[in-house]
Amino acid sequence: MIAMTEHIGPRNIYIIGAQCTGKTTLVRNLSQHPELVLSDNPPTIITEVARTVLQEHSFTAQDVIDPIRTLELQRLILQAQYSAEKTALNDNSGTSWFISDRSGMDPIVYARKYVAEELWIALLQSPEWIEMRERMILSTVIVCEAGGEAQNWLVDDGVRLMPQDEEDWIKVDEGFYNLLDREEIPYHVLSSSISGHPERIEFVVGHWKGAR
């Protein structure tokens, strides 16, 4: 059994959501925000672990839609996210914190879309997710909304799985809200209508400061 450690440092920040909604750019901008990084206790930045898993284990974007391949892929991503968070928190010191590009929920959202119910439910019952869920409950969770002006960011980079169409994209977006609600994790939706970098940064920082 994996033990939770009480969080006594600043609240962690998770930037999550469907593909092509500006998450990585937002995390990069947050990593340069003076109020976050120029403190006595700056955050560790957890970059997207899925890309590393795809490369290290020879998965392709199309494997995401294959029920057999995607279950293994999403399990590996879940484990990689767990390891990244543990490393960022300096082995349970309880004083470190992080800003994460994605979360342990992301692979479960995609697994839910492509595999049988009992299989993605098993991911929710894994000890890694149980610990990460508790950590997310104590964090500032931002969901970058799909649709609207975010359509301008729908660019195929050859690595990520692109949505079939806008309806498919919105279904992934809704999948995040559904699972967050199911797991009783508080979150804030960063509207796709907020497209300017300064406004997106201040949205996150404002909610993070308000929760401290």
SS3 15: strand
Domain ranges of the chain: 13-211
Q: Give the per-residue pLDDT at 95.
A: 61
Measured CA to CA, the distance from residue 148 to residue 12 in angstroms comes to 28
Among 131, 181, 102, 186, CA closest to 6: 131
How would you write the pLDDT of the chain (212 residues) with one tens digit per residue?
444 444 556 899 999 999 999 999 999 999 999 988 877 788 999 999 998 999 899 998 788 889 999 999 999 999 999 999 999 997 555 568 999 999 999 999 999 999 999 999 999 999 999 999 999 999 999 999 998 877 777 776 666 677 777 888 999 999 999 999 999 999 999 999 999 999 999 999 999 998 76
Among 82, 84, 195, CA closest to 149: 195
- Written as six digits, the tokens of 55 are 């490369």
Per 3-state DSSP, the chain is made up of helix, strand and coil in percentages (nearest 5) of 55, 10, 35
Among 180, 99, 105, 193, CA closest to 145: 193
Measured CA to CA, the distance from residue 160 to residue 19 in angstroms comes to 8
- Is there a contact between 28 and 99 (Cβ–Cβ < 8 Å)? no
Q: Give the per-residue pLDDT at 195.
A: 92
Fold of 13-211: Rossmann fold (3.40.50)
Q: Give the per-residue pLDDT at 2.
A: 42
Q: Cβ of 72: how many Cβ atoms within 10 Å?
A: 13
